[in-house]
Structure 1
Amino acid sequence: MPADPTAPPVTAFMLVKTTPEWLGMSVGERVHAFTTQVLPVIEARARGVRSRFYDTEFYSARVTDIWVWEADDHDAYRLLVDALRETPFWDRWFDVVELLVGTENGYARTYGLDPVATVAV
């Protein structure tokens, strides 16, 4: 069943910490591992999911990276997590420290309000 085009996307902030196994690989080995063992599983199992990645290890000892996933709906997000859990990403190369999941401006939709946001000047 296709996603409801009027439903807000689901945004997940996945706070992770690299493991010694991941850090023990060269950069080339990491890229190869991710593109051959993680990406194909995500692409085969999850549709309607986009990602962005942020390095935080130079600011935090507890969390080394924040992976931001935007999914068309909750089912797409669930399929993404199910796919990740079947790869070495989950609890082998990265410890998932916290998952923060929400929808942008949910309060505005709930109360029929215009979203409040700042604009760069």
Structure 2
Amino acid sequence: MPTDRPEPAITAFMLVKTTPEWLAMTVADRVEAFTTQVVPVIEARTRGVRSRFYDTEFYSARVTDIWVWEADDHDAYQLLIDALRETPFWDRYFDVVDLLVGVENGYARNYGVDAVTTITT
């Protein structure tokens, strides 16, 4: 499926676990906290990053959410992490369990071969 977005240089899978402080908040308070305390810092400090959220608390006790970040380059990713660490997101509302950073189909680019993928319809 073609997109108008450039292929990200790196993709980061941020595995997090909610904290009791976050869970004690109402849903409205969580949305308010995220939109006023976290998003403005990210927008002010970074460029070239996009995110998606996945809920995993239904299937995992160790990780409650996965935040997938796509960054245009390593500098953009590093600025993102610095920005997040200056917000209550990091170690107050969520414990960062692990960061898995990779390059999609890096092997194909490195070896000059076509990426092996599956597409089903």
Q: What range is the shorter-chain TM-score in?
A: over 0.9
Check whether the contact 2:108–2:115 (CA below 8 A) recurs between aligned residues.
yes
Partner of 1:100: 100
Structure 1 vs Structure 2: percent identity of aligned residues?
Answer: 80
Aligned residue pairs: how many? 116
Task: Give me the whole-angstrom Cα distance separating, in 1, the residues matched to 2:117 and 2:106.
Answer: 13
Partner of 1:30: 30
RMSD after superposition: 1.2
Structure 2 unaligned blocks of 5 or more: 1-5
Pairwise mapping of residues 1-121 of structure 1 onto structure 2 (< 5 A)?
Answer: 9-121=9-121
Check whether the contact 1:7–1:73 (CA below 8 A) recurs between aligned residues.
no
Task: Give me the whole-angstrom Cα distance separating, in 2, the residues matched to 1:115 and 1:78.
Answer: 27
Task: Give me the whole-angstrom Cα distance separating, in 2, the residues matched to 1:96 and 1:81.
Answer: 11
Return the offset for 1:8. 5.0
What TM-score comes out, normalization by structure 1 length?
0.93
What TM-score comes out, normalization by structure 2 length?
0.93
* 2:57 partner letter: E
Partner of 1:3: none
Post-superposition, which runs of at least 4 consecutive aligned residues in structure 1 deviate over 2 A? none
State the secondary structure of the residue aligned to 2:13: strand
Structure 1 unaligned blocks of 5 or more: 1-5
